[in-house]
């Protein structure tokens, strides 16, 4: 139990660190500092006679920073993506007309996603036949609703016997 608590504290500290670094490196001051470093490096070129060591300094520095930032940015992106998915899942689950099969859509295969995309294309077609642009339907109810309306329209168009 103590190991789990310590691990959670360590992961929390790393997440805070990752969030802080990505916010800082994505700021205007960070860009200005990076720009000044590159300008400073370029200005020192004549002093070091544009030597291989001079070139190696900027190449090594940027390579190391880029390598580390890829993982840091991906970590932050994964967390943000998960948070957004959970928020969307809550909205889907809370809406009585939403299709609950979309709650775990990110876990589906690409082929499954293409099937759902075709359903939404059909839903779009149904929506174009609506009298009001304010109406919306879930995948599950759209076909039933459309069939019901069509049957009512067909009933009205039948000649009376």
Per-residue pLDDT of 26-56, as tens digits, reads 999 999 999 999 999 999 999 999 999 999 9
Per-residue pLDDT of 17-27, as tens digits, reads 888 998 999 99
User: What pLDDT, on the 0 to 100 scale, is given for residue 102?
Assistant: 79
Same domain, 42 and 81: yes
Same domain, 85 and 64: yes
User: Is residue 142 packed enough to be buried (19+ CB in 10 Å), middle (13-18) or exposed (0-12)?
Assistant: buried
Domain that holds residue 108: 101-157
Same domain, 56 and 113: no
Residues across the chain: 161
Is the pLDDT at 161 greater than 60? The verdict is no
The whole-model pTM stands at 0.58
User: What pLDDT, on the 0 to 100 scale, is given for residue 153?
Assistant: 62
Per-residue pLDDT of 98-124, as tens digits, reads 777 778 888 889 998 898 888 888 878
Domain finish residue from 69, 94, 119: 94
Same domain, 16 and 45: yes
Q: How far apart are CA 105 and CA 142, in angstroms?
A: 19
Q: How far apart are CA 74 and CA 132, in angstroms?
A: 43
Tell me phi and psi for residue 27, to 5 degrees.
Answer: -100, 165
| Better-predicted residue by pLDDT, 130 or 128 | 128
């Amino acid at each position: 139990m103590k190991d789990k608590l310590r691990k959670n504290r360590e992961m929390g500290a790393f997440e805070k660190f990752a969030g802080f670094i990505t916010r800082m490196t994505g700021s205007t001051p960070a860009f200005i500092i990076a720009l000044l470093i590159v300008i400073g490096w370029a200005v020192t070129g004549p002093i070091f006679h544009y030597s291989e060591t001079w070139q190696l300094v900027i190449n090594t520095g940027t390579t190391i920073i880029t390598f580390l930032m890829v993982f840091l940015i991906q970590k932050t992106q994964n967390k943000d993506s998960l948070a957004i998915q959970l928020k969307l899942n809550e909205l889907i689950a809370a809406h009585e007309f939403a299709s609950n099969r979309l709650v775990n859509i990110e876990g589906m295969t690409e082929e499954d996603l293409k099937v759902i995309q075709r359903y939404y294309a059909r839903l779009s077609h149904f929506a174009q036949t609506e009298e009001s642009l304010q109406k919306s339907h879930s995948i599950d109810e759209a076909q039933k609703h459309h069939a019901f309306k069509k049957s009512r329209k067909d009933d009205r168009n039948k000649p009376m016997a």
